[in-house]
Amino acid sequence: RCADVAMYQAKTHGENLHFYDASMDANSTRRLTILADLGVAIRSNQLQLHYQPRIDLATGACNGCEALLRWVHPEQGMIPPGDFIPLAEMTEMIHPLSLWVLREALRQVRCWLDEGKEIAVAVNLSARNLIDVRCPALIQSLLHEFGVPNHLLEIEITESALITDPERALQVVQSFHDLGLHLAIDDFGTGYSSMSYLKRLPIQTLKVDRSFVKEMLTDEADAVIVRSTIGLAHSFGLNVVAEGVEDEATLQALCNLQCEQAQGYHISRPIPAAEFDAWYLQRRGN
């Protein structure tokens, strides 16, 4: 295992070096501008959360959603998370950013509770958050502040976020578990290692990456990966969320495979809270 971890760390390092090489071109200016603007964005209401519903395949009910960050830049318009989160992740900027996301998501869950709706929210955390030993206490104080029961907050982590400092990440993840937070491995199957985490981490859920779900009906290799992941998860007593479900036939196939939950454009795109409320009411038949 040690040798594996060392190899993965070397690989990650390699990627970072590659990034620094690449940043010596014209793009670096844009990147620096984005990072500088992001500090302003956090303080001046340019950030928003969109919520993507997640449904229970057995009942069709929606009990949870994933909070996804959006940045409406005053000059550049909507900047997708893929264009600024990786940059923030390379600096300390990810800390205020994740704090903003957690606070906003919990504020929203509080609103839903006040309206009599118990909806869990899943928040994506980054590698730097996972090696920050202050993170669990910070989250606990936010949950207190909003009076949100701990089980309504889910934390999504990726396999690659765990390899920067596996021991420290394990300690933080264990603290999340001790707080009663729900933990999911995101983009499962696309990271470096998988099996050792299944054994060591106190998680409840695997999210099958959408790259496998997308063509599971036409590509046999993808079908095998989705089927095996569901089987593997169930063997470990975990439940499975399929991401990126884009049509009814895929939804049905996942249901037949005993996949517990699904998320995707076929169910709903990520939407602002007001639209989410309308979607939710219609779904419940009210």
Applying CB under 6 A, the residues found at the interface with ligand C2E are 52, 68-69, 80-82, 85, 101, 124-126, 156, 186-187, 210, 243-246, 263-265, 270
Comparing CB distances to ligand C2E, the nearer of 6 and 194 is: 194
Residue 244's binding partner among Mg ion, ligand C2E, none (Cβ under 5 to 8 angstroms by kind) is ligand C2E
Judge whether 206 and 229 are in contact, CB under 8 Å.
yes
Name which position in 108, 124, 229, 250 contacts Mg ion (CB under 5 A): 124
Cβ proximity to ligand C2E: between 37 and 156 the closer is 156
Which is closer to Mg ion, CB of 23 or CB of 48? 48
Nearer to ligand C2E, 116 or 181 (CB): 181
Task: Return the CA Rg of the chain.
Answer: 19
Please, what is the minimum distance in Å from the beta carbon of residue 68 to ligand C2E? 4
The span from the CA of 70 to the CA of 84, in Å, is 10
Nearer CB in complex with ligand C2E: 201/242: 242
| From the list Mg ion, ligand C2E, none, partner contacted by residue 85 (C-beta under 5 to 8 A by kind) | ligand C2E
In this structure, the chain runs to a length of 286
Per partner kind, with CB cut-offs from 5 to 8 A, the member of ligand C2E, Mg ion, none near residue 82 is: ligand C2E
Closest CA relative to residue 169, chosen from 214, 222, 211, 133: 133
DSSP 16-70: HHHHHHHTTSTHHHHHHHHHHHHHHHHHTT-EEEEEEEEEETTT--EEEEEEEEE
Enumerate residues 174-193 that contact Mg ion by CB under 5 A: 186-187
| CB within 8 Å of 159: residues ≥ 6 apart | 185, 187, 188, 190, 191, 192, 193, 194, 197
